[in-house]
Amino acid sequence: MKPNLESARKLLCALQDHIRDTLVAARAKSAASFAKIAAVTAADTIYQVDKITEDAIFAWFEAHWPKKWPVQLVMEGIEDDEAVTFPRGTPVAKTIWKCIMDPIDGTRNLMYDKRSAWALAAIAPQRGARNTLADITVAAMTELSTSKMWRSDQLSAVRGQGVVARSFDLRDRKWSKLKLQPSRATDFEHGFASIARFFPEGKELLGRIEEGLWRELGLLGKRGGQLVFDDQYISTGGQVYELLIGHDRMLGDIRPPVYAKLGFGNASLCCHPYDICTALILQEAGGVIEMPDGKPLRAPLDTTTPVAWMGYANPTLAKKIRPILKRLLKEHC
């Protein structure tokens, strides 16, 4: 049976509501356990806060995912050679959906109660090993707020149908509409824009490339400097949100080519397809998200492929950055 895309969008939102509520309950019981290391995989370090959600997700799929729409689940914590399908035991070849998700993108923020993390999920028609990020037709992202926050934002989209944006009040459990507008600025002066350099590895080269970018745009040192503001939000979903809500004008992650240049290979602490699976939402809002050279994102829907990406609030900003960044990456990497 052909899936209804609007119904699929609502299912992903309901799944993320369940993830959010599970974490809120777990934190109320024992927030201290969040920061314990549970496992180290080829994809990432898995903390206890990550493991809390895994059983809840499997149980939700078994209870709520329509049996008429068999689905394969690709998720942080599931190895690439492990087939997890719903209904359980369905051969991958018999599934019609592939769902890729990161239950908690921004684990380190959440486990220290520092900043919101995000539950990310997207689905694509099942094409086996041929599936890429370009196949995604439905995506949703839900804010996993810190303990002092009363609001959780949720954004979702169906390709070609725009964005549904709303906020959830954690106190009275009521929804309200959320105004969403990426920045319409045509330059970077007095705005937030940055390249990800979350960890010690590669920080010097990443900074050199970004500094070169601002130099070529004539902003480095202009009027004493301090015209472009930096914000290192350790969550790809969080970065996409900052572009969507209008806070940031450009954000990007070029760690994969930089790490390769420095001999780190496929370093685990890179962005992976599940981290950037909600790119569709920014595109539906009028923003731009692409590879650093301007090509579409086409990484396979797995849990280990490093993904380099750049996101812009609007096409004008993308046009300004794209040729300069392409040249700088060729020079340095």
Give the integer Cα–Cα distance in Å for 116 and 316.
Answer: 29
- Show the tokens assigned to 315: 């096409």
Tokens 């797995």 correspond to 302
Report the pLDDT value the prediction gives residue 66, as an integer from 0 to 100: 96
Report pTM.
0.93
- Show the tokens assigned to 86: 């719903």
Per-residue pLDDT of the chain (333 residues; tens, 9 = 90+): 556 999 999 999 999 999 999 999 888 876 556 656 656 665 566 667 777 788 899 999 999 999 999 999 999 878 888 899 999 999 999 999 999 999 999 988 988 899 999 999 999 999 999 999 999 999 999 999 999 999 999 999 999 999 999 999 999 999 999 999 999 999 999 999 999 999 999 999 999 999 999 999 999 888 766 889 999 999 999 999 999 999 999 999 999 999 999 998 766 679 999 999 999 999 999 999 999 999 999 999 999 999 999 999 999 999 999 999 999 999 999
Domains defined along the chain, listed by start: 5-177 (3.30.540.10), 191-332 (3.40.190.80)
Report the pLDDT value the prediction gives residue 78, as an integer from 0 to 100: 86
Report the pLDDT value the prediction gives residue 196, as an integer from 0 to 100: 97
Report the pLDDT value the prediction gives residue 264, as an integer from 0 to 100: 87
> Could you tell me whether strands 228-229 and 151-158 are parallel, antiparallel, or unpaired per DSSP bridges?
unpaired
Coil, helix or strand for 96? coil
CB proximity list for 54: less than 8 A, separation 6 or greater: 77, 103
- Show the tokens assigned to 215: 């130099």
Give the integer Cα–Cα distance in Å for 185 and 203.
Answer: 28
Report the pLDDT value the prediction gives residue 37, as an integer from 0 to 100: 62
Report the pLDDT value the prediction gives residue 34, as an integer from 0 to 100: 61
